[in-house]
Amino acid sequence: MNPFPSKLLLFGEYSVLLGSPALGWPFHRFCGSLRMPGESAQESEPVMEESNRKLVVLSDYLLAGREYFGEWLDLARLSADVARGLFFLSNIPQHYGLGSSGALCAALYHRYRIEEAADDPVTLKARFARMESFFHGTSSGFDPLVSFLGEPVLLRNRKISICGDSPHLQAGRLGATLFLVDSGEPCPTGSLVTSFLGEYAPGGKVSEKGLAFVTLVENTIGRFLSGDGETLMTEVVKISRFQLDMLPNLIPGPLRAGWNDGLSSGIFALKLCGSGGGGYAFCFTRSPEETREYFLDQGIALIRVADP
């Protein structure tokens, strides 16, 4: 019944599919855990039944790939529990870029993994990628990994580092206040990922603009790792501009005006959180009260994540 947190992909959304570094953060404000009927009075019967129906389909997917998944998951026990009504009790907003499917994969792995299964981060990421592909068609496996480990995780040069002990990887070292901005719309992850890869990595080869995107993310993560909050904001602004100009279909409609206004005023910078197209966006600012007032006037809700 361990709760698994949602995740914030602080840097690396989409570009991680092109080979860029990525930095993920567990976000414990939202979390989820597997339950059996009768174990919790917090969820209504229709919600439990809907979650169980989804687990039936996911279980069938895992069973169909039993030659792979069965090496490290107890599929028989999972199927039996699903038949008894297993469900995922979660307050993570679905299709909002916070890794609701990643938390579910992490919870399933924790509960049903075969004990002798290896748990090194690289192996875990590969397994999670195959599991989460059920939801998105293509997955890096990074979201479930962050949720499973429950610590900040850096992926760089195909190496995975757990970053909880680094002073420069504390949220307060951003050099800015970080908010989540609610677009009020869900995001259709699977179709957006397919479209992005078709444009930025046609035929599996990263395009020139894809390489430019990767370079932006590499520079930004480098500034963050060094604790250089001053130049970090400069790099975040560059990513914000790139996403507005080069990935306009990923900018949620209710946030497009704010995206432009933030860049033109210099008060704040928005960037994608997760798959875009809806859900939350990140907002970096050194003027938090002015930023809050701006979005309050727009009728848009903010969640404060970190302060400098």
CATH number at residue 257: 3.30.70.890
pLDDT at 42 over 80: no
Q: Among 142, 162, 182, give the residue marking a domain's end.
A: 162
Q: Are residues 94 and 191 in the same domain?
A: no
Share of the chain above pLDDT 90, in %: 69
pLDDT at 47 over 90: no
Q: What pLDDT is stored for residue 172 in this prediction? A: 56
Q: Are residues 22 and 60 in the same domain?
A: yes
Q: Are residues 39 and 149 in the same domain?
A: yes
pLDDT band of residue 44 (cuts 50, 70, 90) is confident
Q: Are residues 119 and 197 in the same domain?
A: no
- Residues 26-40 as b/e (b if ≥16 CB within 10 A, e otherwise) read bbeebbbbbbeeeee
pLDDT at 25 over 70: yes
Q: Are residues 96 and 213 in the same domain?
A: no
- For 238-276, what is each residue's pLDDT tens digit? 999 999 999 999 999 999 999 999 999 999 999 999 888
Q: Are residues 155 and 203 in the same domain?
A: no
Q: Among 140, 162, 184, give the residue marking a domain's end.
A: 162
Instruction: Identify the domain containing residue 205 by its residue range.
Output: 171-306
Q: Are residues 143 and 199 in the same domain?
A: no
Q: Are residues 234 and 196 in the same domain?
A: yes
Q: What pLDDT is stored for residue 106 in this prediction? A: 97
- Residue 136 sits in a domain of what CATH number? 3.30.230.10
pLDDT at 1 over 70: no
Count structural domains, the chain.
2
Q: Are residues 144 and 226 in the same domain?
A: no
Q: What is the mean pLDDT of residues 162-181?
A: 70
Query: Where does 174-274 have alpha helices with state H?
Result: 189-200, 208-226, 229-246, 256-265
Q: Are residues 144 and 253 in the same domain?
A: no
Instruction: Decide: helix, strand or coil at residue 45.
Output: helix
- For 185-244, what is each residue's pLDDT tens digit? 988 767 888 899 999 999 999 999 999 999 999 999 988 888 777 788 999 999 999 999
Poorest-pLDDT segment among 83-92, 96-105, 173-182: 173-182
Residues 304/177, Cβ–Cβ less than 8 Å: yes
Question: Rounded to an integer, what is the distance from CA 194 to the centroid of its chain?
Answer: 17
Average pLDDT, the chain: 90
Q: Are residues 144 and 231 in the same domain?
A: no
Poorest-pLDDT segment among 44-48, 83-87, 225-229, 267-271: 225-229
pLDDT at 46 over 80: yes
pLDDT at 168 over 60: no
Q: Are residues 138 and 186 in the same domain?
A: no
- Cβ burial, residue 115 (10 Å; 0-12/13-18/19+): exposed
Task: Please state whether beta strands 87-90 and 153-156 pair in parallel, antiparallel, or not at all (unpaired).
Answer: unpaired
End-to-end CA gap in the chain: 34
Q: What pLDDT is stored for residue 245 in this prediction? A: 97
Q: Which residues pair with 5 in a beta bridge?
A: 31
